[in-house]
Every structure is written in structure tokens, then in C-alpha cells.
Amino acid sequence: MKYFGAAIASLLAVGLIALSLPSAGDAHFKGKKRWYMGGETRGPSGGGPGGDPVNLFFYPYGTDSNHQTNVTMGHLGAHWTPQWTDLKDSRPICRGQQSLRFDVDGGGFVRPLDDAQGSGWDGRFRLFLPECRDRYHGRLWADIHHIRASNEPHGPSQSWVTAAFHHEDLQGRRILAGEGGHIVDLDWDRVELAVIEKMRRNRGGHRDVQGVQGGHGFQYRWKVLPGSKGHKGDRNFYSDGRISRISMLHR
């Protein structure tokens, strides 16, 4: 918890907790009475117990016309040290897919599998299955799933990406037992803050879609997302139920 407290103090010190960002009022992520996506992931078929809480929301993107999860992954890769890796071609045991609910007009919902997954190494090295080492792991969904399911009025398409991030420890005995190779080992809110810390820093010549260098603006604990609060996962870590927003535009 020392790191968690120090990270919050660091954000307060640089005056970025309440950073002014372009208004999200015209985005189609939320209706008057409900969010268009659920607050926690589920299994690949949409069933099973609750999974990871959704804790990050990437918006806005600016002038780019092709800003889906690939752009988000690119920014994560540019700001993450020592390394951020796209898991689309990794071994299945390193990237088990989950689904997220998106509301459909007139009731009901669809549960698409995640669009993209990535891992950020945390500095601890393992020789065994290097792409699966101890890591921060994120699953991302673009707004296209709501657009396909809905005829409701909404803002421009390709406006936002939502994500569920966690940190996990590689455990060889779980792999050998066929149980999957990782187990979540940090609380959800601490991981949410760690991703913000990575993204807010200026990383050399990296530019956003408007050609600006710098770190990403954000709003920590931006909004309450129903379904994301509570003790989640097999280790029962707590999530405060508030989603943070990270801009894809540099300051």
C-alpha cells in the first residue's frame, strides 16, 4: 500500500487529478438512465461468475478517423516501460478471452469477446513463457459493439474504448494443472492508478493524432460505473466502482 499512497500523492502534487478535458457529454457511452456497457467482464460465452471490473475509459481521441483499440494499444506501447506487448499472437494460455455486456435497443444485450489484449511488464523477469510473465494485463472493447446493437441517437462512432486492467502473477503450477497460468495479485484500484501513472508521463518523441508531444490528460475516479464496485475475482480484491478516464490527446 505504500506505492498506492505515494502514487496518489504524486498525482495530487502535479495537479492532474481534476485535469480539464474536453467534455464527454456528446459521447454515446451513457444514456439518461444507464451505461451502454456493463461494469464487469464475464466468461467467453457470457456466463459464469463475475470477472474483472471495468476500470478505465479512453476518450476523447481528437481528429483521427480510425481510432479503435489499435490506437489505444499504440499509445500504451509508447508510454509503457520497460515494455508493452500486443497479445493477439501469443499463446492461448497467455490471453484467455472474456466478454463484456453491451445493451441492445428494447432490452437485452450482446456479450462480445474483447477486441484486443495487451501486457505491460512490471520489471520482474521470468525465463518461462516470457510473453506470460508477471504483468499488467488489459482487455479492451471499442464502442462499435454498442453501435451495431443500437439504433439510439449517439455521437460519432469510434469515439471511445473501455477496458478492464489488472495485475497478475505467473504461476507454473497452475499451468501444469491446466488451470491457466496467472492469478490476480494486486487490487483493482491500485492497477487503475498505475496505468494512469504510465500514460501521464511524456515519453520522448511520441505524438498524438494532432501531432502534439507529451503525456496524456486524465480524470481519476471520473464516474460511477454500475456493476464495477465490490470484491471481484478469485482473490476477492476490492474495486471502488469508479471508472477513470484517460484522454488519447497529449497535453
CA distance to 96, 115, 138, 158, 179, per residue, from 188 (Å): 19, 21, 12, 26, 22
pLDDT for 12 beyond 60:
no
Examine residue 60 and say whether the peptide bond preceding it is cis (omega within 30 degrees of 0): yes
**Over residues 99-122, mean pLDDT:** 85
Measure the CA–CA gap between 228 and 205, rounded to whole angstroms: 36
207 confidence band (pLDDT: 50, 70, 90): confident
User: What is the residue range of 55's domain?
Assistant: 2-250
Domain count of the fold of the chain: 1
| Per-residue pLDDT, 26 | 44
Long-range contacts of 116-119 (CB under 8 A, 24+ apart): 116/69, 116/70, 116/72, 116/73, 116/86, 116/88, 116/140, 117/86, 117/87, 117/88, 118/73, 118/76, 118/77, 118/84, 118/85, 118/86, 118/87, 119/84, 119/85, 119/87, 119/94
User: Cell numbers 444485450 label which residue?
Assistant: 109
| Per-residue pLDDT, 246 | 94
- Residue 129 Cα to chain centre, angstroms: 23
Provide the 3-class DSSP secondary structure of residue 190: helix
Measure the CA–CA gap between 4 and 14, rounded to whole angstroms: 16
Measure the CA–CA gap between 117 and 138, rounded to whole angstroms: 6
CA dihedral 82, 88, 94, 99 (to 10 degrees): 120
Strands 161-170 and 56-58: antiparallel
| Per-residue pLDDT, 156 | 65
**Is-contact 187 237, C-beta < 8 A?**
yes
Examine residue 153 and say whether the peptide bond preceding it is cis (omega within 30 degrees of 0): no
**Is-contact 248 103, C-beta < 8 A?**
no
**Over residues 226-248, mean pLDDT:** 91
Of 129-133, 141-145, 150-154, which has the strongest mean pLDDT?
A: 141-145
User: For the chain, what percent of residues have pLDDT higher than 90?
Assistant: 35
Nearest 5 degrees, angle CA 185-CA 191-CA 193?
155
Q: What's the burial of 114, exposed, middle or buried (CB within 10 Å: 0-12/13-18/19+)?
A: buried
At 146, which amino acid appears?
H
167 confidence band (pLDDT: 50, 70, 90): very high
Measure the CA–CA gap between 75 and 131, rounded to whole angstroms: 19
| Per-residue pLDDT, 25 | 43
| Per-residue pLDDT, 151 | 67
